[in-house]
Structure 1
Amino acid sequence: MKPMQAHEIAGNWGTVMLPIREDDSIDFVRLEQLVDRMAALGLNGIYTNGTAGEFYTQSEEEFIRVSELTADRCHRYGMPFQIGASHMSPQLSLERIKRAAAYRPSAIQVVLSDWFPLQDDEAADCLKRMAEAADGIGLVLYNPPHAKRVLTPEAYGKLKKEVPGLVGIKCAGGDAAWYAAMKEYAHGISIFVPGHHLATGIALGAHGAYSNVACLQPLGAQRWYDTMLTDLPKALELESRIQRFMANHIAPFIMQHGYCNAACDKLMSVIGGVADVGCRMRWPYRSIPASEAERLRPVACELIPEIMNASA
């Protein structure tokens, strides 16, 4: 499988979440079943070790097992895949990138070191070293709203000039002016935005999503993305209902009850019922009770049946 160029990184990508046992260990039997199922669904791609994959809790041995398992299944199915090699330590991230490159993924996902926010020259130096470690495989930079430094379109453009191997980003997106600035400064970078904003993003110039909607129902999210390419007004109408569901029934867990984003991603996977992941988060993060998924499933089925009722 060849590494992807920026223009090839597009669409609906589903995340590999970790099934966690009562003793806080990863259930690799269930994980293998999950990856097998996702790799066979026909998504645009899947990826490991993002926020919902709880990369920040994994030992290096666990990182290797998750990466190897995913790479093996995706190569078998011919499924594009990316490996998240992020780590709070830039030194450990470099080692993860070197390991990830050996699996020949479509791209490798990274974060900038941010215990102290990096200045422009430090950020460029960080990504240059990461690109060298990636051995010709493109980098996708995670720059979420909770990053200590949220990059501007101009900053992305500077990084792209310094690091040609930067092929994609995951970010919050923005308004029409933000997309216009990205078009001016950040040519050659694939823009991935939050899943529940994807139709609007596609209309303005985004390329895809590492999708929270795919956490809920990966095949439903894929069919929604396919609709964006053929009937954008229809996709935008569905987006309005997806956003209503997120705002009214998912966001309160974060805004009012203080759960982390990944806990909501796992909750949505249980609501959708496609993957045997469960709501359990790894210590020290709190888990949303599974009873909330039972409560919200009929709400989701009524509000967004096109997502919830998709089947292979």
Structure 2
Amino acid sequence: MCAFKLSEITGVIPALVTPFDENENLDEARMRSIVEFLIGRGINGLYLTGSTGEAFMMTLEERKRALEVVVDQVKGRIPVIAHIGAISTRLSIELAQHAEKAGADALSSVPPFYWGFSQDQVIGYYTDITNSTNLPMIAYNVPLAGLFGFDMIKRLSEIKGVEGIKYTAPTHFEIMRIKAEIGKDFIIYSGADEMAMSGLSFGADGIIGSFYNLIPETFLGIYDAVKSGDMARAKDLQETANAIIFFSLSRNPIAAIKRGMAWLGADAGYCRKPFGNFYDAESEAKLKEDFRGLKRDRGLTGVAFLDAL
């Protein structure tokens, strides 16, 4: 039985990076280290093997093992959400049933993609998965896999076991509509890092994102500021976050996140190809210098990985 109800899984939830070593092998020691690093910095949960976690470049066995390692390291201190998305319903069910046995608190999945599945086929996908376990499902609304319209989200919410959505789309007015028309108990996670303030202000229960691995203190501040009604503070923090996000996007962002974590003593390893990496000292030194320039030019303060440079 899971330790946390979905309604209890709120706040700032990093979409956890997956550490690989120099030879692209899953690095369990680094995985344990970054889990401790993030828990120590006050994050409220972890979202595993999603897009940021490079799930679609991992085998099923690697995805299972990554979850086992994280659940073992977390030991019930914070909630763990397992992303089990795959194009094949059968593979997703295998991952979902494993996640339940391993001790995950909730499931999440992108819809099946690539072949342009019909709405009925997508509904069938989520129905089959939720029928296979007792864990709550968080549907994933993301452009890479095809965005859901409101009517489709409403259909998904009617599936027994689908209790929330990870909403990674800019149409945040729909968050307000979901809460009003589907119900306040349908849990919404805002999934666009650069719009965390917006998602929360429109009613999201929590935020899930990539850069929460690197700058959790900034997003924890945004969450607290919005919840307390200090929108000026939230805006300042979002501007800081966005400066770092947009600066990183042209510099192999997942690899940059991993290197930035390493500068704080939480080495998150490397990415799998075809993602780029900062393997050699020269390229990493250039990345550091670029971030020093960003800090200086934008006057950024209170960002731990920049202060460590």
TM class by shorter-chain length?
Answer: 0.7 to 0.9
Q: 2: distance between equivalents of 1:291 and 1:170?
A: 36
Contact (CA 8 Å) 1:198, 1:206: kept in 2 or not?
no
CA RMSD of aligned residues (A): 2.5
Which amino acid in the other structure matches residue 167 of structure 1? E
Counterpart position of 1:173: 169
Partner amino acid, structure 1, of 2:239:
S
Change (3 A) 1:4 1:174: farther
Please show how residues 72-221 of structure 1 align to structure 2 within 5 Å: 72-75=72-75, 78-133=77-132, 135-147=133-145, 149-161=146-158, 163-175=159-171, 177-187=173-183, 188-193=185-190, 194-221=192-219
- Structure 1 stretch displaced more, 92-101 or 110-119: 110-119
Q: For structure 1, list consecutive stretches of 5 or more residues without a partner in the other structure.
A: 254-262
Letter of the aligned partner of 2:15 in structure 1?
T
Paired residues in the alignment total 296
**Residues 1:20 and 1:2: Cα distance change in structure 2 (over 3 Å):** closer
Runs of 4+ in 1 over 6 A off after TM superposition: none
Q: Does 1:237 align with 2:236?
A: yes
Describe how 1:220-299 pairs up with structure 2 within 5 A: 220-230=218-228, 231-247=230-246, 249-253=247-251, 263-272=252-261, 273-274=263-264, 275-278=266-269, 280-287=270-277, 289-299=283-293
Listed one character per residue, the Cα deviations across residues 189-217 of structure 1 (whole Å, up to 9, x for unaligned) are 32222122111211111222212331222
Provide the identity percentage: 19
Question: 5+ residue gaps in structure 2?
Answer: none
Asked if the contact 2:47/2:83 (under 8 Å) is kept, the reply is yes
Change (3 A) 1:157 1:6: farther
| CA distance in structure 1 between the partners assigned to 2:52 and 2:172 by the alignment | 28
Quote the offset at 1:286 in angstroms: 3.0
Structure 2 vs 1, CA of residues 79 and 9 (structure 1 numbering), >3 Å: closer, same or farther?
A: closer
Hey, what does 2:27 align to over in structure 1?
A: 27
Q: Which amino acid aligns with 1:137?
A: L
The CA deviation at 1:310 is 10
State the TM-score, normalized to the length of structure 1: 0.84
- Closer/same/farther in 2, CA of residues 117 and 39 from structure 1, 3 Å limit: same
Q: Counterpart of 1:182 in structure 2: which amino acid?
A: I
Residues 113 and 292 of structure 1, relative CA distance in 2, 3 Å threshold: farther
CA distance in 1, matches of 2:175, 2:81: 25
Cα deviation, residue 232, structure 1 = 2.7
Q: TM-score, normalised by structure 2?
A: 0.85
Contact persistence 1:267–1:290 (CA under 8 A): no
